[in-house]
Structure 1
Amino acid sequence: MFAAAAIVSVLLALLLTFSAVGKLTKSDMQVESMTNVNFPVDKMWMLAIAELAGAVGLIVGLFWWPIGLAAALGVAAYFLGAVVMHVRANDKAVAPAGVLAIVALAAAVLIALAA
């Protein structure tokens, strides 16, 4: 079970890092997404920091599972919040946030089972 938890955790950490870099560099796709959900573009860096913290927590969690579990649950909450923002703004691009929330919940389950 640890192998599955490790694979999902590492892949999710990579996706979080990629997303954070997009926010920090203010990529056109990220700016458009933030604009669509009425999130202030000048505050995107805060979301990037949260994503990077989640990525670090998932990696550290490979060595101490409580940190990984907390990180996975935090990432799931982060993306559930993103889903809410997309739904409230009637934005059709809700699927990526929803999928990442599910992946984060799967990581939490796998980490808990591997503990």
Structure 2
Amino acid sequence: MHVAYVVLTALAAAAAAFAAGVDLVRPEWVRANMRTYGIPDRALYPLAAVKAIGALGLLAGLVVAPVGLAAAIGLVGYFSLAVLTVLRARVFADVGYPLPYLAISLAALGVTLVAS
């Protein structure tokens, strides 16, 4: 296994787990942002679950490569849709929130593909 693969996968998993944790805590600023984007508060727990499953999938992918690939693809899709949701809501100042998560998910996907 390449060091870059393990490091980027672990970073992407940590980022997704952190994002899931924030959604589970449900701070007011997150709920306010979600309402601005047209997402109801009740959606936070399912969205947190998707991110948490993605994080676990990335880590499992260090042992079972296809699981990691599926998780990386899923997280790239999730965070791509998050960027599109912010853009659709025309809250351009907030597009920077999901972009780092998308970037690290893309990096994890890239190294997963190279390592396969």
TM range (shorter): over 0.9
Structure 1: gaps (5+ residues): none
Paired amino acid for 1:93:
D
1:2–1:111: 8 Å Cα contact kept in structure 2? Answer: no
| Residue aligning to 1:110 | 111
Mean Cα deviation higher: 92-101 or 43-52? 92-101
Which position in structure 2 is the counterpart of 1:22?
Answer: 22
Q: Which runs of 5+ in 2 are unaligned?
A: none
Kept in 1: contact 2:10–2:58 (CA 8 A): yes
Residue 79 (structure 2) aligns with: 79
1:64-111 per-residue CA deviation (whole Å, 9 max, x = no partner) reads 111111101100000000011000001121123123222212211101
For these two proteins, the number of residue pairs brought into alignment is 115
Residue type at the aligned position of 2:110: V
Structure 1, residues 18-54: CA drift from partner, whole Å, max 9, x if none?
Answer: 1111111111232122122110011210000000000
Report the Cα distance in structure 2 between the residues aligned to 1:18 and 1:29, rounded to whole angstroms.
16
Letter of the aligned partner of 2:99 in structure 1?
A: G
Superposition pairs of residues 40-51 of structure 1, within 5 angstroms? 40-51=40-51
Does the CA-based 8 Å contact 2:16-2:101 persist in structure 1?
Answer: no
The Cα of 1:2 is off from its aligned counterpart by 2.1
Q: Secondary structure at the match of 1:95?
A: coil
- Whether 2:116 is the aligned partner of 1:101: answer no
Q: For residue 12 of structure 2, what is the aligned residue in structure 1?
A: 12
Runs of 4+ with >4 A deviation: none
Matches of 2:77 and 2:45 in 1, distance apart? 18
Computed over aligned residues only, the root mean square deviation of the Cα atoms, in angstroms, reads: 1.3
**Given the alignment of the two structures, is residue 58 of structure 1 paired with residue 66 of structure 2, yes or no?**
no
Q: TM-score, normalised by structure 2?
A: 0.92
The answer for the alignment partner of 1:31 in structure 2 is 31
Question: Matched residues, percent identical?
Answer: 30
